[in-house]
Structures are given as structure tokens and as C-alpha cells.
Structure 1
């Protein structure tokens, strides 16, 4: 006798809302439509998710996590800079292939001034990766500034491409190189072709960023005031 595993009402609601979002946008995710698609009564939605905004937040988080898992992005590359490049392309691909889900994650946040859980998770992934880039000595600005620059550029570009009547296929690569040139130190082969003062300044900034990134993990007998002073000195070198 074959047994079938029935999904829970909460899972059915999530999947129903995600399907409605992907095909019709946020406006299609109504209480009536979700309850009909999930075969539940409307109060069940509110019992599990509080309100419709809670449901939308859960949908965005579940959809984003499913996409990351499908792409196998949980692995860590030996070269964090290459992983950063691939992460940029993944961000663009996600937005262009799932426009309604992406808009729910990012465009709604720009209107309300608050970031949803899925957008915060995406930013945390980016910051963790940039921490590795800093520890490798390849970051020329602080982790926070690099994360803000990449996040702003990737989000702005994706939303712009989604609304563009004609998409410029070369725009993504051009913007990525511009941002990376602004936040990364040159490759060793490129450093030899630069003026010595420029190389020294770049190397000093990279070492400062790297030490600042590692400082919270270092077991050194510094007082809180000494750590604060060291952080200020490092910040001046970045």
C-alpha cells in the first residue's frame, strides 16, 4: 500500500503564496486567492503568519533560500574574489529570473525604509564573503563600505534592468569591474606597473582592512580603549 505524505497547512500556504507571487506579483497574493490555492480557511493564514505582511516576508525568505540551495551557493571557494564575482552574477540572475520575488525583497524595502528578512539574509551573505576577501588582503576599503557599494550597485542595476525596455547585455560586467576596481587592491602583476607610492598606499590600506577584519577574533591583551584607538588608526589607513 503506497502512503502519501500530506504537506502541512503552513507549507501549503507558503507554496500557494509563492506560486501566486511568481505569476502575478504582490497584488495577486490576496487572502482569498491564497486560502483557495492552499485549501485552507482565511483564519489559518493569520494563525500561522500573523498578517499578510508576515506571509509575504516568509514567502520571500523561502523563495530566496530555495533559489540559493538550487544553485549550490553554500559551498566556499578557495578564491574569495572569484566567489564575489560569481555572487554578483548570481544576484543578477536571481533578480532577472524571479522579478516579482526580487521586487518583494528589495523594491518594497526602498519604499518602506525597512529591510525584510530575506534581504537582510542576502546582505549578511555578502558581508561574510567580503570578510574573507579582507582577510585575504585583497580589500582596499572597509568591509562595511565594500558591502554597501556592491549591494547598492547590484540592487540598483537589477531593478534598472527589470524596468528597461531593452537590456544592455554588457552593462553588468562593466559595472562589476568598476565596483571591484574601487574596492579591491590590484593583483600582484598589476601592482608592478603602478607608481611605487600608489602601490605602497594600496598595500597599506589592504593590510589595515585585513587587520581590522581579523581584530575581533584575535586574542590580544588590549583594553577596550586600546582596541578603539587601534580601530581608529586602521580606519585612517583605509
Structure 2
């Protein structure tokens, strides 16, 4: 029934779907659906959970760069790509707003993002608390994805511009020229192909270690 509802949602993103159509698709009666899900909202919640399973399955297949800021960039792009490829799921996952309510499954990708911002904070690369940084990235990411879905037109340039603006807002990129170590870390992280992934990560670790030692001396 979850798969049938998902198929109906995917076929008509943003539109209501019929419980009877779901039952007909799998050859069961309405009481069977209510027995398993309790209500239409119960079925919708199960479909949302399924959507997050698909989304997180794709994220799990992504290889970490070893750098939290770069991983935030990659996660942003994966988020947008999932939304554009799966508008039916995405509008249920993030577009159906009820004041005071958020699907429990939303916490799963949020935890991943908070882990990345916590690592960035540990490296001294944020100018805001890590929780605030995660919230800033998430709401910006959702907004730019929904904007493209509403317009039914992918806009990579807009997504990149908003992404870099959000990252600048949490890292202070462009405002920290007085800290050459931070500047070097950001430049290395933004161009991992210059030195290579492993070498870039090692350089970042060394620079971060130097920065921590300098803080102890001050």
C-alpha cells in the first residue's frame, strides 16, 4: 500500500490522492488500509518515511570528502537533486506545512547535517553556533529546492548562489581575512582537486592543528 500510494503521489506531485485508488491498486478493501495505517494521515506518514529512506539511501552512497564544509556543499546539491527528481515525495517531506508539526523522519537528515556543522565548529570554521549553522543551511536548502519545484524549472545557478551565500553566512567567508590559517583552510577545501583529496584533508588537519596551538599561546 505504501508503494501504491507512492506511485500515485509520484504520478501527480502536489495533488491529493484517493485512498480508494490505493486500495484498488493493491486489491484490498478500505478496512484493511485503516487496520494498518489508522487514517489517511497515517498512510501519508508512512509514505514520508519511505521518502526519507530513499533520500538517506542516496546520501549513504556518497563518499565523504573528509572536510565538513565540502560535505555540506555536496549534501546541499544531493538534497536539491533528490527534490527535483522526486517532487511528489519532496512536497510531502518538506512542502506540507502544519504549524507545530514536523514528520519524525525529518530528524534523520537533520542529525547528519548537525554532525557536519559540529565538526566544522570543532575546527574553528564557524562564526555562529553549530546548531544555528545547521538550521541556516537546512532552511535555505529547502527554500531553494521548493522554489525550483514551484517554477518547475531547475536553476543550478540560483542553487549554487544561495548555497555559497548560506555557507558564507555561517563561516564568515570573506570577513576573516585577519586569520590566514582560516583563509588557507577555506581555499584548500574549496579546491580539493588542486592537491588531491587525501592531501587536501591532511593539509586542513595540519592547519587546524596549527590554529589550535596558536590559540593556546595567546
Bin for the TM-score computed over the shorter chain: 0.7 to 0.9
Once the two structures are superposed, the pairs formed by residues 8-23 of structure 1 within 5 Å of their partners are 13-23=1-11
Counterpart mapping for 1:207-218 below 5 A: none
Aligned equivalents of 2:32 and 2:14: distance in 1?
20
For each residue in 1:201-221, what CA deviation from the matched residue of structure 2 results, as whole angstroms up to 9, or x when unmatched? x89xxxxxxxxxxxxxxxxxx
Q: Runs of 5+ in structure 2 lacking a partner? A: 184-218
Alpha-carbon offset, residue 46 of structure 1: 1.6
Q: TM-score if structure 1 supplies the norm length? A: 0.68
Report the CA distance shift for 1:181/1:70 in structure 2 as closer, same or farther (over 3 A): closer
Of 43, 49, 53, the residue aligned with 2:31 is 43
Larger radius of gyration: 1
Q: 2:138 and 2:59 mapped to 1: Cα distance?
A: 20
Secondary structure at 2:128 match in 1: coil
Match of 2:120 in 1: 133
Contact kept? 1:91, 1:154, Cα under 8 Å: yes
Moved more, 21-30 or 42-51: 21-30
1:123 and 2:120 matched? no
Cα distance in 1, alignment partners of residues 112 and 57 from structure 2: 13
1:139, distance to aligned residue in structure 2 (A): 1.9
Which deviates further from its counterpart, 74-83 or 13-22?
74-83
- Cross-structure match for 2:156: 169
Residues in 1 aligned to 2:110 and 2:55: alpha-carbon distance in whole angstroms: 15
Deviations 1:168-210 (A, max 9, x none): 33111111111111111559xx95xx2x4xx39x89xxxxxxx
Q: TM-score of the superposition, structure 2-length normalised?
A: 0.73
Aligned partner of 2:129 among 142, 153, 156? 142
Q: In structure 1, how many angstroms separate the alpha carbons of the residues matched to 2:58 and 2:143?
A: 24
Equivalent pair of 1:140/1:183 in contact (CA under 8 Å): yes
CA–CA separation in structure 2 for the residues paired with 1:20 and 1:87: 28
- Displacement, 1:57? 1.1
CA root-mean-square deviation: 2.6
Q: 1:85 to 1:62 in 2, by over 3 A?
A: same
Deviation larger for 26-35 or 16-25:
26-35
Could you tell me how far 1:27 is from its partner in structure 2? 3.8
